[in-house]
Every structure is written in structure tokens, then in C-alpha cells.
């Protein structure tokens, strides 16, 4: 009799599937728009060209770590 009572006790619930809910709203739309714009800038910026003259790099946005310089369109940043 003691054995049958122990077999009837369930310590864990049966597995239930969990499904993600679709999220909609104003802030979610803003988030996805900002994310899309930022990713587009990130992936397309290396292909933008900017004329800096002779013997200068032609990329519009360039961070040159070995020479400690940065170029952002018409702005050149040099170390002090």
C-alpha cells in the first residue's frame, strides 16, 4: 500500500509549450526604425568616398589606429 501512494505523487508538472507573443506599439516601431538606420550607416559608411587630396585616404569615415588619426568627412582628428 505504501508503494502505490508514492507512485501517485507527481513532483513536477507536465511540460507546457511556451510561445513568444508578438509585440506591437509606437516605441517598438521607433526602435526598429532606429536600428535599421544605424545598421544601414554601419554597413554603407565604408563605401562612401571623400576627396582629401593627394596621399590621403579616400574613405569618408576612417579611424586609423596605428597612426592615431581619425577622419570623419571634412574633420581630421590628430593626437596632441
pLDDT at 3: 60
pLDDT (tens digit per residue) in 8-20:
788 888 899 999 9
Q: Tell me the backbone φ, ψ of residue 41, rounded to 5 degrees.
A: -65, -45
Confidence of residue 54 (pLDDT cuts 50, 70, 90): confident
pTM as predicted: 0.58
Rounded to an integer, what distance in angstroms lies between the CA atom of residue 43 and that of residue 61? 12
pLDDT at 1: 52
Rounded to an integer, what distance in angstroms lies between the CA atom of residue 78 and that of residue 64? 10
pLDDT at 59: 85
Amino acid at each position: 500500500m505504501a508503494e502505490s501512494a508514492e507512485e501517485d505523487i507527481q513532483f513536477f508538472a507536465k511540460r507546457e509549450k511556451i510561445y513568444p507573443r508578438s509585440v506591437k506599439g509606437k516605441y517598438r516601431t521607433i526602435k526598429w526604425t532606429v536600428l535599421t538606420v544605424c545598421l544601414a550607416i554601419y554597413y554603407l559608411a565604408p563605401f562612401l568616398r571623400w576627396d582629401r587630396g593627394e596621399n590621403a585616404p579616400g574613405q569618408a569615415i576612417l579611424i586609423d589606429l596605428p597612426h592615431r588619426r581619425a577622419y570623419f568627412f571634412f574633420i581630421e582628428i590628430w593626437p596632441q
